[in-house]
Structure 1
Amino acid sequence: MSKFGVLVMGPAGAGKSTFCSSLITHLRNNRRSCFYVNLDPAAEEFAHEPDLDIKDLISLEDVMEEMGLGPNGGLIYCFEFLMENLDFLTEALDPLTEEYLIIIDMPGQIELYTHIPILPALVRHLTRTGALDISLCAAYLLEATFVVDRAKFFAGTLSAMSAMIMLEVPHVNILSKMDLVKGQVGKRELKRFLDPDSSLLDDDEMTAGIEDDGPADPTDNAAMMRGSSFKRLNKAVAGLIDSFSMVSYLKLDVQDEDSVGSILSYIDDAIQYHESQEPKEPSDEVELYGEDGFE
């Protein structure tokens, strides 16, 4: 029996836990079952208490204290420990039926989604046929304020594309915190960022019309960020993203239930949730017509 889940990812501060909370609230309001898994070993506060918490297995604070590791090294150690103890996940998820949406809240260190093979191995375990067999969708969140700095936006988009290539599962990319850019970016301008291409850099005030005055002082950060080399780098990154044509975004405002519901509909389509649900019989208690065939 298939199970269904969404892996909520993205850089630190993108609003992953807030999105998970809003998604759980929306599901419960619509009488849908969900199972909330926290895989961030540093997370402490939750709007909805997790049904399964990695900190019951291992916590980042304990690892840093006992192993003498920093936050990034400690996080990788936590996930390596999780991969050695996958029964922790399997025993909790195996009894779930296809009616549940499994929501997996991930940490914000982007190393996990770019060049370390731990997360792809975890995804293979979750989706493997004959085991948990979860139909999984990845939801990658990027903060909408990135659109104000186009170089930063393309760097975030590159990390989203890297996650898509690494994980090889259906993917939904989301611009979160849309309420923060209202009044800063017009609707027509914002629409251009939903399907990003290199033309966004052509009219960027930070990079347009810059002449190459020779090598900049590498210790002068402001000069380096304004220089022609930085412009060429951004153009190369944007061109790479454009050539793959993989990344497009959905808009998310967690304060708007319709926005959350719209994101959920895309997730449901990606994992084919509704196609597996049994048709529901009309309630026997509700009689629409009398014996003579009229209301």
Structure 2
Amino acid sequence: MAFGQAVIGPPGSGKTTYCNGMSQFLKLIGRKVVVVNLDPANDSLPYECAVNIEDLIKLSDVMVEHSLGPNGGLVYCMDYLEKNMDWLESKLKPFLDDHYFLFDFPGQVELFFLHSNTKNIITKLVKKLDLRLTAVHLIDAHLCCDPGKYVSGLILSLTTMLHLELPHINVLSKIDLIESYGKLVYNLEFYTDVEDLSYLQYHLDQDPRSSKYRKLTKELCDIIEDFGLVNFSTLDIQASCLFFSLFSLYSINGYIFDSIQGSVVDYLKDEKVEVQALAVQEKYMKDE
């Protein structure tokens, strides 16, 4: 049995940066880690990549050969990978005994709530390789500065959770940059806990012509609250909250109970680490 993370999220949400930071941290604390790039559009990798989908198929080649745009090309690439899972499985098998996996997925959101190829790839990894994965869904924190964009991020998170059917954690990334996009109308806890979303309607466009938009937003908020599945952690890639988040990831897929994780859990339980992580969040809290 092996463990790992499926790192997903919209383009520009920080997936590659997260994989790079997380892999460096795991190596520093003595963990063996394998980073797997499954994004055929990611041609500039800051991390050491043990398995790269570009060794199997390249987006640029697909676009030229089949006259496809970037979105259609990505769908084709993931379909191709699904049909050639033997290649990926053979690349991963040498690391299964004692490595922790980080899968860097493409940023095309349709792959995670509409198409079945990515879900099928993950399902095959779980079943054939006995690989326990947690989905780490990154959403750019700047969405919190606009109620409409924030609700869109919530809907995306919810549909992705329901589609992938994996242990799942949603993360507001780039939290250190949130103030550069403007002040939040509520404190950060409102956006991470995802409760009482009805308050957002007071901050939508009040133009009479936008009445249907406000009604739609209210209905979407009701759906999100009815499911009661979505909440967020916060992430500053430079801060110790990255390390504290790892404890949640270890807990959610059972890695915390596995013998190979060793001193990582003891380190993450350290009160200093917890206090530092909470301090990052409190830095961006403001009174209502």
Considering the TM-score relative to the shorter chain, is it more than 0.5? Answer: yes
Q: In terms of Rg, which structure is larger?
A: 1
Aligned to 1:244: 227
Gaps of 5+ in 1: 217-226, 282-295
Aligned to 2:134: 137
Aligned to 1:254: 237
Q: Are residues 1:193 and 2:191 paired?
A: yes
SS at 1:102's partner residue? strand
CA contact (8 A) 2:255 2:261 kept: no
Q: Percent identity?
A: 33
CA contact (8 A) 2:145 2:185 kept: no
Aligned to 2:252: 270
The CA deviation at 1:74 is 0.6
Change (3 A) 1:68 1:211: closer
Aligned to 2:80: 81
The CA deviation at 1:202 is 3.4
Q: Are residues 1:231 and 2:214 paired?
A: yes
Distance 2:228 2:57 in 1: 39
* 1:82-136: CA deviation from partner (whole Å, max 9, x where unpaired): 01110121111122245321000011110001111112111110111xx201011
Distance 2:156 2:132 in 1: 23
Normalized per residue, the structure richer in helix is 2
Taking only aligned residues, the RMSD between alpha carbons, in angstroms, comes to 1.9
Aligned to 1:105: 104
CA contact (8 A) 2:161 2:168 kept: yes
Q: After the TM superposition, which of the residue ranges 116-125 and 169-178 deviates more from structure 2?
A: 116-125
CA contact (8 A) 1:142 1:156 kept: yes
Distance 1:279 1:29 in 2: 14
CA contact (8 A) 1:8 1:138 kept: yes
The CA deviation at 1:201 is 1.0
The CA deviation at 1:203 is 3.1
Distance 1:93 1:35 in 2: 9
Gaps of 5+ in 2: 264-288
Change (3 A) 1:191 1:185: farther
Change (3 A) 1:187 1:97: farther
CA contact (8 A) 1:144 1:178 kept: yes
Q: Are residues 1:150 and 2:150 paired?
A: no
The CA deviation at 1:199 is 2.5
Distance 2:165 2:262 in 1: 33
Aligned to 1:5: 4
4+ long deviations beyond 6 Å = none
